[in-house]
Structure 1
Amino acid sequence: MLLWLLLLLAPGGEQSGVVPKALLLLDPPWSTAFKGEKITLTCSDSLSPAPAVFWYHNKTPILEKASRLQITQSGSYECKTQGSSLSDPVHVEFLSDWLILQVSYPVFEGDQVVLRCRGKKENEIKRKIYFKDGEQLSVSDSDLILNSVFRDSSTYHCTASGATVLIPWNTISTPQKIKIKELFPPPLLTVNPSQPIEDSPVTLKCETHLPPQRLHIQFWFRFFRDSRVLGSGWNNSPELHVPMMQTGDSGSYECEAKTTTNNVMKRSLRSQIHVQRVPVSDVTLEIQPPEGQLLEGGNMTLICSVAKGTGMITFSWHREEREGTVRSLEIKTQHSLSAELQIHTGKEHDAGRYYCAAANIQGPILSEWKRVTVRIPVSEPVLTLRTPRAQAMVGDMVELHCEALRGSPPILYWLYHENVTLGHSSASSRRGMSFNFSLTAEHLGNYSCEADNGFGPQPSEVVTLSIIGPSKGKMALITSKATGGLLSILAFAGIVLLVHYFRMKRKTGEHSASGRPSEPWRYQPGLFSDLGPPAHKRKPSKETPEV
């Protein structure tokens, strides 16, 4: 009983949700018999033996409820149980002929058919001949076997001959047609889901079923798209799983089922499958490093993503140029929800506004604008000394200007005199910073500056301020870089000082002789009080030896 139930539930059995038909068998398995003989009908279902059976003769109910019924009357017989639907009808004939042709029952497509020529007095028959549509098939005293019959509308009969008291005789049977039952209906192709979406899995199923009498038969299945075989061809599974359907998979689908033994093969009707594509939506642009802060010489990644979208998606990246124009940077088409654009060794011209776009069906969908700034580390600043005349005098206004030619603002500048911080200032642009002071002798010495915008301080070269004078009431101002030409300047300064010394000595003698005492030159301290509080000493690595 359990085996019967498993066979019904197996692939190729009755379709799911359909009540199986009752099984009606004949014993002996012939649908034709002589009058006076008996044939036993047996009705069963998946719970065989059935507890209660309902019998019908020519559509009329029979009171008998047993699972077996002996009959002697010609007609059409059917049965059903509480757990099954009505069986296929069986037409049985009881003939009063002397010779009959019996056909085995049941006969399904691809079956072997047994034809038996039988007389009431078999011992008197000397010869039997089988005919098909009036043409002789075989002369045989035994059964005639027809292999793998399918659709057969032919008429069969047999003859028998013998002799009684030396008088020969010959008789012919009533013609019979072979009633061939359908082994299984053409398969039904089902698609789950019925409206597949691109990039989603789909299952194709080829469904058919066998009659209760042939549940032992196994099936092979194969599937077609636009008349071309899918996969590896024949397979014992009625299902074909497609992990990711694409729009290119749309088309006309069919399936085929065949039995493994008698080679009965049938094809389903065609089913049109249209794979739907999901358009892209919610396009976003992500920039790494965060906030779009790109360091000059560093790398930047632009990630374009979509929330939804199937199939091949085309991504593109764009940057706003000057005068309102937009430059297309790159286009990528790939099967994913995001794509990346790498920008290596970032430069100043990479700054600006960016957006990306994505498309898979209609026109592209744009992301919001994202701004990218390129942060440039400061270059080594240049310290220059500006005076109102070629030879400045004491009291002239002198300007020390420190400027980094490259670097992203804001830039913090520091000014140093003899390695002591004079002050600092922040510039929101690349114009640099200036310190102004009224020239005195206290301003002699080495000057330097430093610039920093968050990527590490950069020191300038050292500038030396020297004063030669007085000469006719004037002072000569000499500046130089401490790292270049310093020795030549010192040599020149030594010569000038010697000449000046002798001149002053001569004048001193003259003044003493005339009775007018000489007075020393007075300096004015405190000129850098406006540069902020006294600052720290510079680091030893940044110190420059005094001249």
Structure 2
Amino acid sequence: MLLWLLLLILTPGREQSGVAPKAVLLLDPPWSTAFKGEKVDVICWGISHSPAQGDTSWYRDEKLLKIKHNKIQITESGNYQCKTQGSSLSDAMHVEFSSDWLILQALQPVFEGDNVILRCRGKDDKNAHQKVYYKDGKQLPNSYNLDEITVNSVSGDNSKYHCTATHREFYIFDKKETSNHVNIRVQELFLHPVLTASSSTPIEGSPMTLTCETQLSPQRPNVQLQFSFFRDSQTLGSGWSMSPKLQIPAMWTEDSGSYWCEAESVTHSIKKRSLRSQIRVQRVPVSDVNLEIRPTGGQLIEGENMALICSVAQGSGTVTFSWHKEGRVRSLGRKTQHSLLAELHVLTVTESDAGRYYCAADNVHGPILSTWVRVTVRIPVSHPVLTFRAPRAQAAVGDLLELHCESLRGSPPILYRFYHEDVTLGNSSAPSGGGASFNLSLTAEHSGNYSCDADNGLGAQHSHGVSLRVTVPVSRPVLTLRAPGAQAMVGDLLELHCESLRGSFPILYWFYHEDDTLANSSAHSGGGASFNLSLTTEHSGNYSCEAENGLGAQHSKVVTLNVTGTSSSRTGLTAVGVTGLVLSILGLAAAAALLHYARARRKPGGLSATETSSHSPTECQEPSSSRPSRIDPQEPTHSKTLAPMELEPMYSNVNPGDSNLIYSQIWSTQHTKENSANCPMMHQEHEELTVLYSELKKTHPDDSAGEASSRGRAHEDDEENYENILNPGKDKVQDFPCLCNT
């Protein structure tokens, strides 16, 4: 308490709080002891460190002497004090007036660390010899026979000094004299420091200022001091500093302890320590814990970085933060630091990082949890895969094709678009993820490259192209019989040509005679397929073919072939030309009746010079009606021996006189009236004789155009063929040949 009062008195600026600073006494001459009869001037200094202005109160041994100017002259021993306007009572200064022959004088004032001058003086100083100085009864070294000595760095240790000297008395003998004892009064250079803190119970995290307060003597205002601060045995800050203040940015619980400071004069090495002060740092529990996700809102895209920011509104000291995810036992991370905020970074998030998160904060009072925050991770779509789904392995015209596009990864909803040769077909959305489909009814134009793309707003991805070939079913093939002459004869090389005018390749063609397979052939491009046959009489009969490209077989119409004679009979036919002329005249009479009869028997297949008329399956058996489709190109072929047909030639090469026309008998047969219209090839009992003729142009060796025309007519429809037509201009029956039955 006394120290605090002393500090209040000596600290500059205390006058503002009602306590004025002390006045200071100075002696002139500045010695503490004088001989009686001598006079000493005493000067009083006020707060301006200069002689006081105005009235000054003077005291000796605490008694008021007078009120006068700032300077008085004294002649009596005692403790002197003064007081001026604006200052408080000065410290006492003792002045001794001695009646002894030898005195010891000390220079005043003396401060801590000063070098003190001691002077040994006699009344008749010229007669004083062999001066010796003593401290506490012991002779000081190097002090013999000196008028004055200097004692270095004295301190207020209550040591007593005196001196001795000799003088000749009555000019007879020397007498040794001893001076008075002087207790050197050492004044404080500066007061003992007092440590003050901006708060004795600071809150954790708050700043604090420590001040080491002291005051220099007004008589030594220019002395430099330095300061140092300590907590327990640990030095704070950077050590010694010229500033009496130490700023601590933030105080924590572990900063609680005993604090003190030191002040030291730079030149005199006078060091003084303050009393210890206990400082306890108060801790504030955490509150209002909050978790924030960045990017804001917790909406992330796979591959981005995520920051989990945990903060508290209040809380002091060391805070331990931890982060947690729903479904996980262990925490995602933990940090302990002097902060109200901490961050945890999750690099390159994946789909598994989606979910609910919370954080916790604890500063010894127990963990406080934040609310749950949901994190969603959106996944860009992967490259989609386009697949075809058709009712069969090979897509065909008329099939309903499903185009299915699917990305195996990607956050919904996903929009799919479908393309055919870069032309958009349509789009479809998958709100829950997965794939989407688009249906297409196939035509031949739908062949080509298909693709799709997927987009969920995070960037579209395109599939690889997928090629589709739409197979066209084969149309009903046309079987054409190609012989060297107009009449197929034994020994001729007959070409059977089968062709479908529509259908995707490859096409497998099968050739049949009656119900027997002759052969097969595959066509990888247009033009159909052919099969050659060296004719015998057994080769007469019904021929057909079948086309197959994996989408179902199609059968041609039946073509009937009549093989006659031998290859040598072609010459004999020419020899009977004259006879034919006679017969043609006789035949004119029967032409009208024959024409009417032939038209009644006409069938859709028509007649040709080398084939019989074809018939409806309901009228006569057709090989394809009971034969299964042939799709195996490796199936062995075989032929069956054919029964010879019963043909009765009656006329041949009748020449009506026109050099370019001849009439040839095609065939004649006996048949019943009931069955003649249905199956003319079948041999029946009670047959009637039927004769059919055909009007043919002569073929010259250089008539290539005529041959081409004849072959061209092989592909014409049955409705374009004629048989047994009466020529009004010539009054005769003429028949236009056809080598095929379509």
> Where on the TM-score scale, by shorter chain, does this alignment land: which range?
0.7 to 0.9
In the alignment, is residue 383 of structure 1 matched against residue 387 of structure 2? yes
The residue that corresponds to 2:547 in the other structure is: 500
Q: Which moved more, 1:394-403 or 1:120-129?
A: 394-403
Q: Which runs of structure 2 are paired with 1:395-414 in the superposition (5 Å)?
A: 401-414=404-417
Does structure 1 conserve the Cα–Cα contact (< 8 Å) formed by 2:419 and 2:452?
Answer: yes
Does structure 1 conserve the Cα–Cα contact (< 8 Å) formed by 2:395 and 2:471?
Answer: no
Does structure 1 conserve the Cα–Cα contact (< 8 Å) formed by 2:231 and 2:258?
Answer: yes
Q: Which runs of structure 2 are paired with 1:89-488 in the superposition (5 Å)?
A: 89-137=92-140, 138-140=143-145, 142-161=147-166, 162-197=168-203, 201-243=207-249, 245=251, 247-276=253-282, 280-307=286-313, 313-321=319-327, 325-326=328-329, 328-333=331-336, 337-379=340-382, 380-385=384-389, 387=391, 401-415=404-418, 423-434=426-437, 445=447, 449-454=452-457, 455-456=459-460, 458-459=462-463, 461-466=466-471, 468=473
Q: Which moved more, 1:441-450 or 1:195-204?
A: 441-450
CA distance in 2, matches of 1:122, 1:297: 104
Please report the TM-score for the alignment, with normalisation by the length of structure 1: 0.74
CA distance in 1, matches of 2:395, 2:220: 122
In the alignment, is residue 61 of structure 1 matched against residue 64 of structure 2? yes
Q: Which moved more, 1:273-282 or 1:349-358?
A: 273-282
The residue that corresponds to 2:14 in the other structure is: 17
Fraction of identical pairs, as percent: 53
Secondary structure of the residue that 2:547 maps to in structure 1?
helix
In the TM superposition, residue 41 of structure 1 has moved relative to its aligned partner by: 0.8
Q: Which runs of structure 2 are paired with 1:24-103 in the superposition (5 Å)?
A: 24-47=25-48, 48-52=50-54, 53-103=56-106
In the TM superposition, residue 165 of structure 1 has moved relative to its aligned partner by: 4.5
Q: Which amino acid aligns with 2:216?
A: L
CA distance in 1, matches of 2:393, 2:467: 21
CA distance in 1, matches of 2:452, 2:604: 45
Does structure 1 conserve the Cα–Cα contact (< 8 Å) formed by 2:43 and 2:51?
Answer: no
Does structure 2 conserve the Cα–Cα contact (< 8 Å) formed by 1:160 and 1:170?
Answer: yes
In the TM superposition, residue 23 of structure 1 has moved relative to its aligned partner by: 1.1
CA distance in 2, matches of 1:260, 1:404: 82
Q: CA-atom RMSD, angstroms?
A: 4.0
Does structure 2 conserve the Cα–Cα contact (< 8 Å) formed by 1:382 and 1:404?
Answer: no
- Distance change in 2, residues 1:352/1:123 (3 Å): closer
In the TM superposition, residue 355 of structure 1 has moved relative to its aligned partner by: 2.6
- Distance change in 2, residues 1:359/1:504 (3 Å): same
> How many residue pairs align between the two structures?
483
Secondary structure of the residue that 1:93 maps to in structure 2?
strand
CA distance in 2, matches of 1:250, 1:24: 45
Structure 2 unaligned segments of length 5 or more: list them: 1-9, 477-502, 510-521, 529-545, 561-602, 606-613, 619-742
CA distance in 2, matches of 1:490, 1:391: 11
Does structure 1 conserve the Cα–Cα contact (< 8 Å) formed by 2:24 and 2:45?
Answer: yes
Structure 1 unaligned segments of length 5 or more: list them: 1-12, 472-488, 518-547
- Distance change in 2, residues 1:263/1:466 (3 Å): same
- Distance change in 2, residues 1:247/1:28 (3 Å): same
Q: Which amino acid aligns with 1:68?
A: K
In the TM superposition, residue 442 of structure 1 has moved relative to its aligned partner by: 8.2
Q: Which moved more, 1:191-200 or 1:261-270?
A: 191-200
CA distance in 2, matches of 1:213, 1:88: 12
In the TM superposition, residue 344 of structure 1 has moved relative to its aligned partner by: 3.9
The residue that corresponds to 2:713 in the other structure is: none
Q: Report Cα offsets for 1:50-93 as digits up to 9, x if no partner.
A: 22212223333333321110122332221111121110112223
The residue that corresponds to 1:529 in the other structure is: none
In the TM superposition, residue 362 of structure 1 has moved relative to its aligned partner by: 4.2
Q: Which amino acid aligns with 2:80?
A: Y
Secondary structure of the residue that 1:468 maps to in structure 2?
coil
Does structure 1 conserve the Cα–Cα contact (< 8 Å) formed by 2:397 and 2:471?
Answer: no
Bigger-Rg structure (1/2): 2
Does structure 2 conserve the Cα–Cα contact (< 8 Å) formed by 1:292 and 1:371?
Answer: yes
CA distance in 1, matches of 2:431, 2:407: 12
